[in-house]
Amino acid sequence: MKLINDLNKNSKLEKIFGINVFHIKRMKKYLSKETFQAYINAIENNQSLTLEHANEIAEAMKNWALKHGATHFTHWFQPMTGFTAEKHDSFLEPITTGIAITKLSGKQLIKGEPDASSFPSGGLRTTFEARGYTIWDITSPAFIKESQGTKVLCIPTAFCSYNGDALDKKTPLLRSMDVLSKSVIRVLRLLGNETSKRAFATVGPEQEYFLIDRKYYEKRPDLIFTGRTLFGAKPPKGQEMEDHYFGSIKERIGAFMQELDMELWKMGVSAKTRHNEVAPAQHEIAPIFENANIAVDHNQIIMETLKKVANRHGLVCLLHEKPFAYINGSGKHNNWSIQTDDGINLLDPGSTPHQNLQFLIFLIAVIKAVDEYSDLLRVSAATPGNDLRLGGNEAPPAIISIFLGDMLTSILEQIEKKEIDKIQYNNSELKIGISQLSHLPKDTTDRNRTSPFAFTGNKFEFRMVPSTASISAANFTLNSIVAYVLEEIADLLEQKLKGNKELTDAILEIVAEIYKKHKRIVFNGNNYSKEWEEEAKRRGLPNITNTVDAAKAIISEKNIKMYESIGVFNRRELHSRYEIVLENYIKTIRIEANTMIMMAKQMILPAINRYIKELADSINSLQDNS
């Protein structure tokens, strides 16, 4: 109710959005011109901040946080648990008996030292090697998190070991964004672009979730311990009437969604869309596209806030990929593209895609990357919960393929055949037979909801990502494999240009060569069909149906070579992640098995015995009366 009152007082949504974020404009207000420029240079030109600059930023950040009621600060990081972690420190620092000052130094801002031994490390750290470091991520703004009257300044950080190995989800993502930027700019320079200085992945992750009444949740140990029902029966009515999808939002759920949006807006999360999903009690929230690093941070905030706000409304938020049998599961649709610092979307085909050399070269790079490293994309979406979801309703199969649509597929086929001059466009209008309605231009391609990796206008939608998972793995994988392939394409393009090839001819040759070799990954049909499984097998596409088999990709020599060559992972880090994936799988299955046994012994068998006794007593009573 307080959040609604806040909105009423401020009447304009703009005054609510980002109120708890120490963003660029706010920093400019609090910092000297010199320090602010040093901060901008650190972000844009990879220049180091001096300790003096860090001290001024820390002091400004502290003063802003205190003004907004924060009492503590924390280095907010994302260990390999898949959740976020934080250790709160008070701003107070005693200087003598009974007297204290408030302080946040540059050293405290830049580096923290949490105990690293109890987080999953896959053997990188042992119990007696506890030191780990959190390092301030200057590209992600600090924010204040509110909870039951407490306010804490959260400073986004990376998390690494004493030896510099990544122990978290953020470090490889930041590395991958750096290498993607360098590879993109190298290709753009070859294409004649001398103005763009940096490039970054943009991401818009749609988050699906279930809401159930807390009183029902508390009666189910399987939901409490595992996040899904392990026993149950098919209800008389499920989703077969399809009346929940985009249906009118119930009042109680609407109140939850309104408070959720308000909480997220205050922390700068651009929650844009909310609606009912297909399954009963299933819903979705989607933000606006943003820098991939920020998008990953914001999705973690969304997952945490979903659970927190649901609790206030007597609800429980389930993020499990398949909490209930017979109905749709939940996932994330990870919408991914590449953009330059001067606003160019490199996956925007424009009105004449066959003449858009820039688009064609980046499109073909993605096709080649997804085909050659489909195993890495598959493992980026591998969890025990997702094993239950993939291949079901509204979830893509475990076979990785790309949907391009008829128009783009036709263009690439004509380029392969060297018949680009025969390409024609049908810019038709969408006609529905009602004269009063405006005529609309018809999209050049339909959507394919069955595809795991679909082109959707000016981006790719990776639909396999699990609803419980951090989207970091999906995005550092995409960034890395595309960056690696772009380097190969840049080498090839340089060779052709040195051989006196015209730029247009060189690009079309490269596109034709790559498409001919990798077009097996393109499939525009029904990914749910049995025929596609057979066709995919004929094409040589892998069908990896479980997490254990998928995990092998992490330590394949081909993939280790790729990651090490671009500096996103070293061999130790990859082997540690392989162990973490397997360990998590084993623990998850063991918890589910133990929960089933407990429920059978303590709930189901006693109920059966009581029922048998009631039947026996009834029979004995009838016999006695006769």
Which tokens belong to 337? Answer: 């593209």
How far from 52 is each of 56, 59, 169, 591, 605, CA to CA, in Å?
6, 11, 30, 50, 68
What confidence score (pLDDT) does residue 626 get?
A: 67
Render the burial of 22-56: b for 16+ CB within 10 Å, e for the rest: beeebbeebbeeebbebbeebeeeeeebeeebbbb
Decide: 283 and 274 in contact? Cβ < 8 Å. Answer: yes
Closest Cα partner for 201 from 295, 307, 69, 339?
A: 339
Listed range (4-13, 293-302, 353-362) with the worst mean pLDDT? 4-13
Residue pair 172/197 in contact (Cβ under 8 Å)? The answer is: no
Q: Tell me, what's the pLDDT at 217?
A: 96
* DSSP H or E stretch at residue 112: strand 111-112
Task: Tell me how crowded residue 141 is: count the other CB atoms within 10 A of its CB.
Answer: 21
pLDDT of residue 445: 67
Half-sphere exposure of 229 (CA within 13 A, CB side): 17
Beta strands in 116-239 (DSSP E): 132-136, 142-147, 150-161, 199-213
The pLDDT value given to residue 333:
94
* Model confidence band, residue 600 (pLDDT cutoffs 50, 70, 90): very high
pLDDT of residue 424: 63
Q: Determine the average pLDDT of the residues in 498-512.
A: 92
**CA distance to 210, 585, 591, 611, per residue, from 599 (Å):** 23, 21, 12, 17
* pLDDT, position 443: 63
Q: What is the pLDDT of residue 432?
A: 55
pLDDT reported for residue 394: 61
**Per residue in 315-348, pLDDT tens?**
999 999 999 998 899 999 999 999 999 999 999 9
Instruction: Identify the band that residue 149 occupies on the pLDDT scale cut at 50, 70 and 90.
Output: confident
Of 60, 51, 78, 66, residue with least CA distance to 23? 60
Q: Which residue type, as a one-letter code, is found at position 74? A: T
Q: Please check the confidence at residue 239 and state whether its pLDDT lies above 90.
A: no
pLDDT digits (tens, 9 = 90+) for 370-425: 999 999 999 999 999 999 998 765 678 899 999 999 889 999 999 988 877 666 66
Give the model's confidence band at 1: pLDDT under 50 very low, under 70 low, under 90 confident, else very high.
very low
Give the chain's mean pLDDT: 91
Mean per-residue pLDDT for 420-436?
A: 61
Q: How far apart are CA 531 and CA 537, in angstroms?
A: 10
**Sign of the Cα pseudo-torsion (476, 179, 571, 371, in order):** positive
Q: Which residues pair with 317 in a beta bridge?
A: 211
Predicted pLDDT at 154: 97
Q: What is the mean pLDDT of residues 69-89?
A: 93
Mean pLDDT along residues 57-67: 96
- Name the pairing type of β-strands 315-318 and 331-340: unpaired
- The answer to whether 472 and 169 are in contact (CB under 8 A) is yes
The top-level CATH class assigned to 175-233+243-422+447-588 is: alpha beta
Segment 169-201, tens digit of pLDDT? 999 999 999 999 999 999 999 999 999 999 999
Which of 156, 61, 147, 68 lies closest to 112 in space, CA to CA? 156
| Band of residue 583 on the pLDDT scale cut at 50, 70, 90 | very high
Residue 545, SS3 per DSSP: coil
Look at residues 283, 281, 263 and name the one whose alpha carbon lies nearest to residue 273.
Answer: 283
pLDDT over 70, % of the chain = 93
Structure tokens at 307: 């659970």
Q: Output the pLDDT for position 352.
A: 83
Task: Please compute the mean of the pLDDT values over residues 3-28 and round it to a whole number.
Answer: 77
What is 17-167's CATH number? Answer: 3.10.20.70
- Domain extent listing, the chain: 17-167, 175-233+243-422+447-588
pLDDT class for 603, splitting at 50, 70, 90? very high
- What is the pLDDT, as a whole number, of residue 623? 81
Phi, psi values for residue 593, rounded to 5°: -65, -45
pLDDT at 397: 85
| pLDDT of the residue at 213 | 96
Do residues 362 and 490 touch, judged by C-beta distance below 8 A? no
Q: What is the pTM of this model?
A: 0.92
Residue 427 has pLDDT above 50, yes or no: yes
- With beta carbons less than 8 A apart as the criterion, state whether 505 and 512 touch: no
Q: What is residue 54's predicted lDDT score, i.e. its pLDDT? A: 94
435-480 confidence digits (pLDDT tens): 556 665 666 666 778 899 999 989 999 999 999 999 999 999 999 9
- Decide if pLDDT at 3 tops 50: no
Res. 513 pLDDT band, cuts 50 70 90: very high
Q: What is the pLDDT of residue 438?
A: 62
